[in-house]
Structure 1
């Protein structure tokens, strides 16, 4: 029997309604039809679960690793009205406040002391202290997905929201983010002063795409911005201060729904995941791994080749295994169609983990990926060995990405240029086929280091 894709999952999958990391990927929250839970990301550990009766949740947004969670009702039977944001104190196990709007809440983003709420055509920002105060409001274009992103690093100011025109991004600068509270005894040395805020922010609008936006992503510092559109083929990285396009990456050639983009904390790489069930990893710097490029790319200044041949492709990827091959026909026939979880849907975050081959004396860690599927799968993935993902304490917090105009390394053997600049469609199709074959041979897969399940305990699922 041909099962197609490799499968490692259990037979009766958990139905995850929502899963998301906190801004630092230290914890993640998950919602099922029975309630919600909070987990430690790595090593995977259940911190707390809350069984809810009377309805379901559409989202649980953690405020870093604090006891405060923001809840949104949703699903077939919402436990809260969809026009309310519920403040939940997880230490008390109860609601402590709520925000009510005249329409459905579409999205949330938060950082220490701040909450941004996306509605259909506007974004409202609140300051959270002893009291919740309204800070400001900005109009957007039609934003049914509630797209917005907030920089969460110390002294960061950026809030990215949809612009008033289709495909545009509006950049809003809030007061600087406070540093995280110190852990353990106070340091003996004087703490470093935060960098002074910029005197001006010259760019407030970025015309990112000509079609509707599907994701907005920021690193903790807020110095970069990643955008994707409804076409689902390209990921664009922008300088958030100048509005300059820094890099453009190609996820694939066919249309897809991109679910998210996540920057590595040191801004040296980013990962992209979509409804194709594949996680792609791109590098943003010159050292270490390099993104794949067409062997015809050096010819693009001289020949009118399609833009496809200029593209940068991921240097590493991972295919999320499917569960459908292990689900019995009788079990699937009894399950209502609306309750079948989306096997391709996932959310991905970066963690600092100890390499598998490290000795006890080694303390150096490396960046790895954790993917959470909506069928209850927890995947810890290491990058290819040449990716230069180790964490150095002496390294700076960020790295300057390559500008878009930087020339790729010239291949040792270049394909013979064509004599005529007016290439036929057949010739281009053959070139694309060769590129696809080459990509398949040179692709570097992430390594699955650990697989575990979450979302089912005490009869849940």
Structure 2
């Protein structure tokens, strides 16, 4: 009898090579060793699937919610050479066009009428119509990640690519595409409204970071863009027209690899996800939920504190559960230590969806046309998570340091002006008092309640990636 330790592995594990949303997050594509499939984002539904023989695909990029897909070979056994881009019509089941380059394709971004292809040190733009023709080409710095972003709104024209210097981004305004025929009343989404006429020429270069870029994201309207660097701690949002810094958010204090940033369609919030397995949600505008700040941030006008204390932290988070690769039938502590390294954080991609809120018992909200923005997280192990943001009342409960400071000063009696020496000692005592409040037992309880109130709520969990028609 063999009494050796054995491991239980899934009989049919899901191996996903790539997952991508379409520009509007209405559908997403999945690439596996068996082929590729197209799913509706919400409610989750398998739209179509196609088995691919003779190799695997590294990129499957949808052109909006149409039957056109851009395919790039990848994996251990590429179906197509990695230096080619295939335009695939899934209705006819054949290749429509083929683009060939002298080097490996690093990334793709598409929208109606345009296809941008990122290579190692340049970006090539193609006009997509009855025929695919080369439009322009720009040089970039070393871009192994294939970073680029296209605004997808009806009247937007922005293409964002890495600059020629490290940490810089180039802003290119393309010719206006033919907008789709509007249906119904004018929408409230900024990306679908005609922009005002420009008063001056927009900027073309933004010095976003001092280190290498890791992500570039742009709103559908092309008004805002977000950048992150290899440090993995800060997310900066920029005005795409003036090039000025709009907001700076802090994902965390330790270094991380940020996988992506996604703007909410109405451009009021954004979410960030990284290799830490946590999704962070930040508020861009002042109304609604407010981002968290350090308790000591109110003292920065008086004493020179590090910039860390002025940072804005996410007001909502969600920790993606880790799916262990296998379970070992052993209680040996050494085995548990060895297997604990296998439970890494889930790699994922996040998108925004619009969900109609449930009608109340009185039916006052039924048919009101209100929508709620929620997050859909897709993991590379086949997990589909639909998350709702915390209630605005709970997310707004963590008051900022400035508000608490104003409340503290309004409650205290008026005092006579202090001399500089007494003012310094008074500020120092307030710092000590604030620190003692944070480290106190009651402070820990408040921080724990605050953390619970700012967690996203899991509304639905499903699995995707099977080829048996399951959805």
TM-score by length of 2: 0.81
Deviations 1:236-260 (A, max 9, x none): 0111100100100000001000000
1:244-294 Cα offsets, whole Å, 9 max, x none, are 001000000010000000000111100000001100000011111100001
1:329 aligns with 2:328: yes
Taking the TM superposition and a 5 Å limit, the aligned residue runs for 1:346-361 are 346-356=348-358, 358=360, 360-361=366-367
2:439 is the counterpart of 1:445: no
1:272 paired residue number: 272
- Is 1:124 paired with 2:134? no
Task: Return the offset for 1:193.
Answer: 8.4
Q: Which residue of 2 aligns with 1:90?
A: 90
Structure 1: distance between partners of 2:315 and 2:302 = 26
Corresponding residue number in structure 2 for 1:373: 379
**Contact 1:143 1:162 (8 Å CA) reproduced:** yes
More deviation, 360-369/283-292: 360-369
8 Å contact from structure 2 (residues 323, 343) kept in 1: no
Residues in 1 aligned to 2:312 and 2:279: alpha-carbon distance in whole angstroms: 15
1:458 equivalent in structure 2:
468
Q: CA deviation at 1:104?
A: 0.4
Contact 2:297 2:401 in 1 (8 A): no
Cα deviation for residue 171 of structure 1 reads 0.5
CA distance in 1, matches of 2:260, 2:444: 24
CA contact (8 A) 1:343 1:374 kept: no
Q: Secondary structure at the match of 2:295?
A: coil
**Residues 64, 205 of structure 1: alpha-carbon distance in 2 compared, 3 angstrom cutoff:** same
Q: Confirm or deny: 8 A CA contact 1:13 1:376 kept in the other structure.
A: no
Pairing of 1:74-89 with structure 2 (within 5 A): 74-89=74-89
Determine the C-alpha separation between the residues in 1 that align with 2:314 and 2:428. 30
Which residue of 1 is the match for residue 100 of structure 2? Answer: 100
Confirm or deny: 8 A CA contact 1:21 1:62 kept in the other structure.
yes
Structure 1 stretches lacking a partner, 5+ long:
1-9, 186-191, 334-339, 390-405
Residue 198 of structure 1, CA deviation:
2.9
Q: Point out the structure with the larger helix share.
A: 2
Map 1:30-429 onto structure 2 (within 5 A).
Answer: 30-182=30-182, 194-195=194-195, 198=198, 200-324=200-324, 327-329=326-328, 343-356=345-358, 358=360, 360-386=366-392, 408-411=402-405, 412-413=407-408, 419=425
CA distance in 1, matches of 2:447, 2:116: 41
The CA distance in 2 between the partners of 1:102 and 1:341, in whole Å, is 39
Q: CA deviation at 1:361?
A: 4.5
Structure 1 residues 108 and 161, CA, compared in 2 at 3 Å: closer, same or farther?
same
C-alpha displacement at 1:357, in angstroms? 5.5
Distance 1:71 1:222 in 2: 26
Query: So what's the TM-score if we normalise by structure 1?
Result: 0.83
SS across alignment from 1:419: helix
Contact persistence 2:124–2:137 (CA under 8 A): yes
What whole-Å deviation, never above 9, does each CA across 1:75-112 have from its counterpart, x for those lacking one? 11111100001101011112111100000010000110
SS in 2 for 1:206: strand
Unmatched 5+ stretches in structure 2: 1-9, 186-191, 330-334, 336-341, 410-422
Matches of 1:459 and 1:371, distance apart in 2: 21
CA contact (8 A) 1:341 1:374 kept: no
C-alpha root-mean-square deviation of aligned residues, in Å?
Answer: 3.4
Aligned-partner Cα distance in 2 for 1:361–1:241: 38
Mean alpha-carbon deviation: is it higher for 21-30 or for 352-361?
352-361
Larger Rg, first or second structure (1 or 2): 2
Residues 312 and 150 of structure 1, relative CA distance in 2, 3 Å threshold: same
Note closer, same or farther for the CA distance 1:193–1:300 as it changes in structure 2 (3 Å cut). closer
In 2, distance between residues paired with 1:193 and 1:219? 13
Structure 1 match to 2:21: 21
CA distance in 1: counterparts of 2:469 and 2:238, whole angstroms? 46
- C-alpha contact (below 8 Å) 1:147/1:161 kept by paired residues: yes
Please report how far the alpha carbon of residue 154 of structure 1 lies from its aligned counterpart in structure 2 after TM superposition. 1.1
d(CA) in 2 for partners of 1:162 and 1:431? 45
Q: Secondary structure, in 3 states, of the residue corresponding to 1:246?
A: strand
Question: Per-residue deviation at 1:445?
Answer: 0.4
Going from structure 1 to structure 2, the CA distance change for 1:409 and 1:206 (only over 3 Å counts) comes to: farther
Please give the alpha-carbon distance, in whole angstroms, between the structure 2 residues aligned to 1:259 and 1:432: 32
